[in-house]
């Protein structure tokens, strides 16, 4: 047997693999991690020869096809500690899987050990203290469902299937960012299993440097087994999409930018180029048309909603306007079915300080989508996200007004090349008008160390120092990596 567990392929000869007729195959890491680990691990271990292997190694993005040596579905913190410790002792590459939604597939790896948190989905709301304790493998939907029952919400992203783990550690932006800040601005504490196997709690007073680093620094510093968030009284909202014909895109974008600039923080609306989904509630004559639009979310006093939306419903006028009162989780789940797991997915993102007329012209030139599920979103991130200084958390974007992301999406793997080409050429055209760097949560796995460095701007060196302190051997390197 050749075993190179530091991230290289592990190969068994046929004679050594009992019952196997294959000459070589990706070996199960169980043999390397040893019985000390496998016997005490309480969750499930799945290796390449197990029936569940293909289902468990699959991640959200169908473009990603990695073959881990072992998937350790942890049941509790003790399992996470055991897995990290075994990986450390045997020098095995580790990937941490939260919701498995990362576009670049950074919740998995080839050959190494996947510490899979997807069974750790406990949520405990403290309605009196307005906090919520969330286990590391939760999706946004798990938390929304629990908090909504108490009329509370944590500001997360726009789709319920995304993992809290990756989204939070990279920053977290969505419908409530203008009013309540990034997700990390509402993070009060984290429980972390560090690379040396220690379990620590980090908050403003304990391990403050670690607490600073995890608020934007991704999974670089350890496995976060639970998050403690501040929750806010947000229950029902007024929201939904407004769509205009594509030939009015420049005009709509300029109007929307001006509107957001002066809008109360309770109103958010992200601009989008979309292919109209071929089904209700969209009228048949619009199905599969490429259009421009805004998806709104208003969390202010309901009696003021009519006044807020009157000029919006009149601008243009729109081809479609479906804004109404609904529970926040209804908006958060509205797009889930349109982009189920397993689609081809390729995206690139930038933060934007100002939306100039030239930038708008470049956007409009690239708005012809390669497939109807492909899209460009521009999320407002002013308001409360600007209340903190750029060095208050590892995520430095506290002056940018938008985060823009262009995404090529389709079920057909044969279209992958076209999706990548469209995304790259669109991004190249608008990147010169951006704030530089990227949003680490909306990057692919291959954008390179320079782009990671640029994304952290003036906070990068401090992150390197934190990495040297908490993970000097770079055990956690399957991420947008901060090299120690």
Question: Does residue 355 interact with ligand FAD by CB under 6 A?
Answer: no
Pick the closest to residue 425 from 376, 379, 378 (CA basis). Answer: 376
Spatial distance between the Cα atoms of 158 and 319, rounded to a whole number of angstroms:
23
Interface residue with ligand FAD, options 43, 216, 217, 219 (CB under 6 A)? 219
Interface residue with ligand FAD, options 5, 41, 102, 438 (CB under 6 A)? 102
Question: Does residue 167 interact with ligand FAD by CB under 6 A?
Answer: yes
Nearer to ligand FAD (CB atom), residue 12 or residue 459: 459
Question: Does residue 194 interact with ligand FAD by CB under 6 A?
Answer: no
Rounded to a whole number of angstroms, the minimum distance from the CB of residue 123 to ligand FAD is 14
With CB under 6 A as the contact rule, which of the stretches 71-79, 93-101, 141-149, 351-359 interacts with ligand FAD? 93-101
Torsion, Cα of 438, 114, 164, 382 (10° steps):
-10
Question: Does residue 269 interact with ligand FAD by CB under 6 A?
Answer: no
Rounded to a whole number of angstroms, the minimum distance from the CB of residue 192 to ligand FAD is 8
Pick the closest to residue 192 from 184, 200, 180, 182 (CA basis). Answer: 200
Question: Does residue 239 interact with ligand FAD by CB under 6 A?
Answer: no
With CB under 6 A as the contact rule, which of the stretches 158-166, 312-320, 422-430, 465-473 interacts with ligand FAD? 158-166
Interface residue with ligand FAD, options 56, 57, 101, 398 (CB under 6 A)? 101
Interface residue with ligand FAD, options 48, 170, 181, 408 (CB under 6 A)? 170
Residues in the chain: 484
Nearer to ligand FAD (CB atom), residue 33 or residue 444: 444
Nearer to ligand FAD (CB atom), residue 17 or residue 186: 186
Pick the closest to residue 134 from 105, 102, 172, 181 (CA basis). Answer: 172
Q: How big is the CA angle at 131 (ends 127 and 137), to the nearest 5 degrees?
A: 115
Classify each residue of 433-449 as buried b or exposed e, where b means 16 or more C-beta atoms within 10 Å of its C-beta.
bbbebbbbbbbbbebee
Question: Does residue 224 interact with ligand FAD by CB under 6 A?
Answer: yes
**DSSP string computed for 403-424:** EEEEEEEES-GGGHHHHHHHHH
Question: Does residue 374 interact with ligand FAD by CB under 6 A?
Answer: no
Interface residue with ligand FAD, options 74, 86, 123, 169 (CB under 6 A)? 169
Spatial distance between the Cα atoms of 426 and 423, rounded to a whole number of angstroms:
5
In whole angstroms, how far apart are CA 454 and each of 205, 290, 435, 476? 29, 33, 10, 20
Spatial distance between the Cα atoms of 479 and 440, rounded to a whole number of angstroms:
9
Nearer to ligand FAD (CB atom), residue 136 or residue 318: 136
Take residue 447 and report the two structure tokens written for it.
Answer: 């954008």
Interface residue with ligand FAD, options 114, 223, 359, 378 (CB under 6 A)? 223
Rounded to a whole number of angstroms, the minimum distance from the CB of residue 222 to ligand FAD is 7
Question: Does residue 117 interact with ligand FAD by CB under 6 A?
Answer: yes
Question: Does residue 173 interact with ligand FAD by CB under 6 A?
Answer: yes
x/- mask, ligand FAD, residues 403-442, rule CB under 6 A, reads: --------------------------------------xx
Question: Does residue 176 interact with ligand FAD by CB under 6 A?
Answer: no
Catalogue the E-assigned strands of 171-308: 187-193, 199-203, 223-230, 236-245, 267-275, 290-298
From the number of C-beta atoms within 10 Å of its C-beta (0-12, 13-18, 19+), residue 270 rates as buried
Compute CA 35 distance to the chain's CA centroid, rounded to the nearest angstrom: 35
How many residues contact ligand FAD, by CB under 6 A?
A: 36
Rounded to a whole number of angstroms, the minimum distance from the CB of residue 241 to ligand FAD is 15
| H helix or E strand, kind and range, residue 53 | helix 53-57
Question: Does residue 69 interact with ligand FAD by CB under 6 A?
Answer: no
Question: Does residue 153 interact with ligand FAD by CB under 6 A?
Answer: no
In the complex, the residues that contact ligand FAD under the rule CB under 6 A are: 60, 95-103, 106-107, 117, 136, 157-159, 162-163, 165-167, 169-170, 172-174, 218-219, 223-224, 339, 441-442, 478-479
């Amino acid at each position: 047997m050749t075993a190179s567990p530091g991230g290289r392929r592990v190969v068994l000869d046929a004679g050594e693999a009992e019952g196997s007729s294959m000459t070589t195959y990706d070996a199960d890491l169980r043999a390397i991690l040893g019985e000390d680990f496998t016997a005490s691990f309480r969750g499930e271990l799945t290796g390449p020869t197990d029936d569940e292997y293909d289902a468990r190694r699959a991640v959200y993005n169908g473009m990603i096809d990695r073959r881990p040596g072992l998937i350790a579905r942890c049941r509790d913190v003790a399992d996470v500690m055991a897995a990290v410790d075994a990986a450390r002792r045997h020098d095995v590459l580790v990937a941490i899987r939260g919701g498995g939604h990362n576009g670049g597939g950074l919740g998995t790896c080839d050959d190494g050990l996947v510490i899979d948190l997807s069974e750790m989905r406990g949520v405990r709301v403290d309605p009196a203290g307005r906090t919520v304790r969330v286990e590391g493998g939760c999706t946004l939907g798990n938390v929304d469902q629990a908090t909504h029952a108490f009329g509370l919400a944590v500001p997360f992203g726009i789709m319920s299937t995304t993992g809290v783990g990756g989204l939070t550690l990279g920053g977290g932006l969505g419908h409530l960012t203008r009013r309540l800040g990034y997700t990390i601005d509402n993070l009060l504490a984290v429980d972390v299993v560090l690379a040396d196997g220690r379990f620590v709690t980090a908050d403003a007073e304990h391990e403050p440097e670690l607490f600073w680093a995890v608020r934007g620094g991704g999974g670089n510093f350890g496995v976060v087994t639970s998050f403690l968030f501040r929750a806010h009284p947000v229950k029902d909202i007024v929201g939904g999409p407004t769509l205009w014909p594509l030939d009015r895109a420049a005009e709509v974008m300029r109007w929307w930018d001006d509107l957001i600039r002066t809008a109360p923080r309770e109103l958010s609306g992200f601009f989008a180029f979309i292919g109209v989904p071929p089904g209700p509630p969209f009228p048949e004559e619009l199905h599969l048309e490429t259009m421009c639009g805004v998806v709104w979310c208003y969390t202010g006093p309901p009696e003021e909603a009519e006044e807020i939306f009157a000029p919006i419903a009149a601008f243009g006028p729109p081809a479609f306007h479906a804004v109404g009162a609904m529970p926040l989780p209804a908006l958060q789940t509205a797009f889930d079915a349109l982009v189920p797991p397993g689609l081809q997915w390729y995206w690139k993102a930038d933060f934007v300080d100002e939306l100039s007329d030239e930038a708008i012209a470049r956007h409009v030139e690239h708005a012809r989508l390669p497939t109807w599920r492909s899209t460009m979103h521009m999320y407002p991130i002013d308001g409360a996200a600007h209340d903190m200084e750029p060095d208050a958390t590892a995520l430095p974007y506290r002056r940018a007004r938008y985060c823009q992301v262009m995404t090529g999406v389709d079920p057909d793997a044969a279209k992958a090349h076209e999706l990548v080409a469209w995304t790259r050429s669109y991004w190249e055209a608008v990147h010169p008008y951006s704030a530089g760097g990227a949003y680490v949560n909306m990057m692919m796995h291959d954008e390179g160390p320079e782009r990671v460095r640029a994304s952290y701007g003036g906070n990068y060196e401090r992150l390197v120092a934190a990495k040297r302190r908490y993970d000097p051997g770079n055990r956690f390197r399957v991420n947008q990596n901060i090299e120690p």
